[in-house]
Amino acid sequence: MAERGSLLEGLGLVGLGAIEPVVIAAAAAEMPILLVGPHGTGKSLLLTRVAEALGLRWRHYNASLLSYDDLAGYPVPDGKGSLDWLRTPATIWGAEAVFLDEINRCRPDLQNKLFPIVHERMIQGIPLPDLRHRWAAMNPVSDDDDASPDLYRGAEPLDMALADRFPFVVEMPDWRKLTAETKERLLAADLVPVDPAAQAAFAAAVAETRERYRALVTVPDPVTVSYVRHLLHALDEAHLPLSARRGATLVRTIGAIRATGLTEPDDAALLALRAGLPQRATTVPISETVLMAAHKDALSVCRLSKDDPIFEVRALTDPFERTLRALTLTQLDPVFRTGVVADGFATIPAGARFALSYHAMENGLADGLHGAVAGQIAEAYARLVTPQGVNQKVAAHDGRYNAWQMVMRVVGGRRPSVATTLIENLLVSGWKDGSLANENDVRDLNVAWRHARTRLRALAPAKPAAGHRSASEAPVTAEAA
């Protein structure tokens, strides 16, 4: 395999070394690719040179000016009682590759008609057997009226369903981030004709990659599959969710990039992730920090032995279960254990957090936790076991009065017990400090508390703490003013 970056540069495409493995992978695996970048970043030139190097019959359409007749031709009688299409050199019939430029500037109804071409290689329900490559390009979009002038006011976010049908959604390299030497080579590239030998080398690299890719996808790599599973979970927790279908696509795109031989396995996974987010075609912000954290987290987990307790904890997708397991496994590294508990407490509802805190303190599970997390558990426990007294006058039209009535409905009529004491103390203290400002707050806290307590009792009932005084023993009254 030629040196990384040399294949595209041989085609007169300078400064694209970072995405070269993706371009070759997409061509070899015949997966649709969507290029996203400002004008002048070489999107059209890149796909033109690739098509020429591979010797493809291809069509280049400006989607902003496109009508469906331009693609399919005009329907005409076929002499047999049905219709055929009047085909011209400009229609899609017989094309081996199609390039849909400015795809996010075409009408929504036309985008819907492009969907089967990209996803199924069909038009009007008719297969396109010659069509192997589906390419598209668009300018960046933003929903911010004060966005940088580099963005395009006329560009619309691509429909998410259509964007999700492009396995590769590639951000073009930024001119401003290229080295001075690379910039000068890029500026002079148009003066040098493309060498047929370079075209042949590129075509050979694509053919070699295709053979390796076919071998790789025959038996999916279990480490890659595990990586993607954990990656989807990490991205979901970071509020950048991907569908299960997208996860299956990532398994294939990682294999395709690995098949190029231009990257290390870990780098192939990261490159496939960066080039595999349909959100790049929308206004959803993508944080490089989030991507790197999710990538590293998924890599570290998928390489752990399944007998490793860290693997056990991280494999749990439910925040409550994962937090409880981290609390229970006191032999875990304290930093890791504290981090899991902190993340869990930031995710689960308040009622469940109080239930877990009580369970941890009653069963000695808070030992070894660091700093603020240990303090948070101790503070929650103190609120639960400290008798609460309140004597306030509240206006009947005040929302806090309705909240108090809900508190009384929750705890009223319960027989004295540790459980009654805990929920009374929790609700009364929350009402006093203003965190329970209305009926819904009280209801949500109580539901989450009860649900969590039920789950905990199914595992092992917490030991009752000695000396608890029921909130009903403290002066607790609220009168309508």
Q: Is 55 left (phi over 0), alpha (psi -120 to 50) or beta?
A: left
Beta bridge partners of 86: 74
Question: Are 336 and 199 part of one and the same domain?
Answer: no
Query: Are 338 and 462 in a shared domain?
Result: yes
Same domain, 205 and 329: no
Domain assignment present for 61: yes
Which of 189, 218, 247 lies at the terminal end of a domain, its last residue? 218
The average pLDDT across 206-229 equals 90
Do residues 474 and 355 both lie within one domain? yes
Residues 23, 169 within the same domain: yes
Query: What distance in Å separates the CA atoms of residue 166 and residue 148, rounded to the nearest whole number?
Result: 26
Cβ atoms < 10 Å from Cβ of 395: 10
Of 1-10, 197-206, 309-318, where does mean pLDDT reach its minimum?
Answer: 1-10
Q: Which of 46, 54, 143 is nearest to 101 (CA)?
A: 46
Q: How confident is the model at residue 480 (pLDDT cuts 50, 70, 90)?
A: very low
* Confidence band, pLDDT 50/70/90 cuts, at residue 87: confident
Classify 171 as helix, strand or coil.
strand
Q: Looking at the predicted structure, is the pLDDT value of residue 468 above 70?
A: no
Return the structure tokens found at 149: 């002038």
Average pLDDT, the chain: 86
Is 36 part of any domain? yes
Distances, alpha carbon 403 to alpha carbons 37, 117, 123, 437, 440, in Å: 53, 57, 60, 6, 8
Helix (H, G, I), strand (E, B) or coil at 390: strand
DSSP state of 238: T
Residues 93 and 209 occupy one common structural domain = yes
Number of domains comprising the chain: 2
Q: Is 421 inside a domain boundary?
A: yes
* CATH code assigned at 157: 3.40.50.300
Tell me, what's the pLDDT at 342? 92
- Give SS3 for 54: coil
How many whole angstroms separate alpha carbon 22 and alpha carbon 260?
9
Q: Are residues 332 and 186 in the same domain?
A: no
Asked if 345 and 439 count as a contact pair (C-beta separation under 8 A), the reply is no
**Domain range enclosing 91:** 6-218
Return d(Cα 423, Cα 477) in angstroms, integer. 16
Of the residues 179, 197, 218, which one is the last residue of a structural domain? 218
Q: What is the pLDDT of residues 354-394, one digit of tens each?
A: 999 999 999 999 988 988 899 999 999 999 999 887 777 77
Cα–Cα distance for residue pair 205/358, rounded to 1 Å: 61
Do 324 and 175 fall into the same domain?
A: no
Among 218, 250, 281, identify where a domain stops.
218
Say if residue 209 is in the same domain as residue 326.
no
Pair (50, 171) in one structural domain: yes
Answer whether 117's CB lies under 8 Å from 63's CB.
no
Give residue 220's pLDDT. 81
pLDDT at 148: 53
Structure tokens, 387: 């008798």
Whether residue 193 lies inside any domain: the answer is yes
Specify if 247 maps to a domain.
Answer: no
Is the pLDDT at 414 greater than 80? The verdict is: no
Closest to 260 measured CA to CA, from 211, 313, 189, 315: 211
- pLDDT the model gives residue 412: 79
How many angstroms separate the CA atoms of 28 and 133, rounded? 10
Across residues 342-346, what is the average pLDDT?
90
Backbone angles phi, psi at 98, to 5 degrees: -135, 135
pLDDT for 476 beyond 70: no
Q: Amino acid identity, residue 261?
A: G
The answer to whether residue 204 is domain-embedded is yes
Is 234 contained in some domain?
A: no
Q: Give 334-351 as a DSSP string.
A: HHHHHHHHHHHHHHS-HH
Please tell me whether residues 157 and 23 are part of one structural domain: yes
User: From the centroid of its chain, how far is CA 386?
Assistant: 43
Instruction: Please say if the pLDDT value at position 197 is more than 80.
Output: yes
For residue 267, tell me if it sits in a domain: no
The token duo for 153 is: 């006011």
